[in-house]
A and B are shown apart, each in its own frame.
Chain A
Amino acid sequence: MSQTHVVPTRVYYTIFAILMFCTYLTVQVAFLDLGALNTVAALAIAVFKAVLVVLFFMHVKYSTRLTWVVVIGGAFWLGILLALTMTDYLSRAWGTFG
């Protein structure tokens, strides 16, 4: 019969603890005045948490290359959506100065 990769529960509990700590961390960091870095910190923590969920809870770490391609492809296309949209909106006001 086919073998499946059974992840030890210890891994799930560890990831759970890290995710909970990161939630606490993101709230604490929001109350520090870091200027523009507040948004960067919030997004960095959120991306870190999402990557942990994808790799361990969603088993991508133990999946085939083809699955990796689909997951990374999805992230890449989301990047295109956000980056190209923002290059437009961020640069619109430039022509109005000077």
Chain B
Amino acid sequence: MLPDAVEHHHPALAHQFDSLAQQREAAALGMWVFLVTEVLFFGGLFATYAVYRWWYPDAFAAASHELDILLGGTNTAVLITSSLTMALAVHSAQLGRRRLLLLFLIATMALGCVFLGIKGVEYYHKFVEHHVPGPGFEFEAAYARQAQIFFSLYFIMTGLHAVHMIIGIGIMLAMFWMSWRGRITADYYNPIEVSGLYWHFVDIVWIFLFPLLYLIGRHA
């Protein structure tokens, strides 16, 4: 018998780790490695954006004017607020406050849904205005072709971001279920912490998308 080992073994501690702290560190580190691949995934699109904006600055400015700053700005505020509720959810988990954790997870999911709703309204406007790239695309003649490139990038970048939001909400649902079942404690909250990292990453992507898509050449 190994009384010491039995005594110190926490049910949430996987056998390959020495301690809960080491296990938590490994989880966060693994998530960060994944997020770096995500940074480069989005990075390719940002590089594409940089090249085309360098080539067609006037068309990009003209096309950017068609986006709604109020809706885009509101969505930025909504996402930043959801990052706050996410940070507070992790905080509640660290303190083992289950009720508060559940509430903050709901708030985060609700704000995520508000973001997607506003995004949907914006997409709808673009369909009505014939600003969706393709045969039905309409724009002032001088910039028609180049503006299609801007709107292609707009839909691909915001669309990929929206897919990440949907996945994020799915992850939050799983976190809600785990927390509801009492599997998250002050000793073991790695899933909440790691999900939070993902949520904040998606927020950061939008922090760059907002000025680069909505705010070009507004002073002209």
Contact = CB atoms under 8 A, between A and B. Distances in A.
B44 interface: yes
B91 interface: yes
A77 B10 CA distance: 39
Nearest to B199: A57
Interface residues of A, number: 51
Contacts of A70: 29, 32-33, 36
Interface of B: 10, 19-21, 24-25, 28-29, 32-33, 35-36, 39-40, 43-44, 46-47, 50-51, 54-55, 69, 73, 76-77, 80-81, 83-84, 86-88, 91, 94-95, 187, 193, 196-197, 200-201, 203-204, 207-208, 210-212, 215-220
18 contacts: A1-B10, A2-B187, A4-B21, A6-B94, A16-B84, A34-B219, A42-B215, A46-B211, A53-B200, A57-B84, A58-B197, A59-B193, A63-B28, A75-B39, A78-B40, A81-B40, A81-B43, A85-B51
Interface of A: 1-4, 6-7, 9, 12-13, 16, 19-20, 23, 26-27, 30-34, 38-39, 42-43, 45-46, 49-50, 53-54, 56-59, 63-64, 66-67, 70-71, 73-75, 77-78, 81-82, 85-86, 89-90
